[in-house]
Structure 1
């Protein structure tokens, strides 16, 4: 089960990063060019929200079936925090990804309440770009690119 969930989580991550980059760039372009917010902008932001939430759910399942979780149960948090690889996979990566999804969700929710285009793009640009930065900061690059 672990290898299947790991495979899905790893490949879905490429989609998440791609869609999050597209949504952030789209929001920034819309903000700076002061164009009207349209249905395609809504679809991009909604698709980004959905894709990131699916990735979070897959990640939660992976967290509990991964061998790293058994290390946490058997050795305790002291050993996890002393090992940089374990700390990345058990603490840093999950926490930062949860924060990123929360930021994306907040940005999506706040942008829906705005009535004009510029504030909509501003909310999306701020929160989606912050979410993207959080995601990029804690991707296990050594594993991900190999």
Structure 2
């Protein structure tokens, strides 16, 4: 491995930089960008096992904030579309299903592939912001605990390269 890559990896693994890296990657992965944060979380914890709970908190905070941004984007998109369509309702079966659950549907924001758009749809449907953020945080925290614990259990010595 080239020296500069090794130096970068060591710098990013330092607790003071590692947690901020986890936050940024977790935030970006909760937007509609096709990223995943589990590898970064796992990598930091393999290098700094004593940072388990701070890492879970930082990853959850970043991922939840990213979900909140997606909610705001959905809300803004709906407001813009309403102006163009002059308030005509959108009748889509999936939207009706989500409306039945309300903000609790954001518990599913942890799901791969559909979780991030779900946050935007919650904004589109104008679900209350703070209850949505709370349910997003609960779902995302549960995912980080489950996924990270499973990875640490399955690969106690690290991932094979």
What's the TM-score, normalizing by structure 1? 0.37
More helix by share: 1
- Please tell me whether Structure 1 or Structure 2 has the larger radius of gyration of its CA atoms: 2
What's the TM-score, normalizing by structure 2? 0.34
Indicate the structure whose relative CO is greater, using CA pairs within 8 Å and at least 6 residues apart. 1
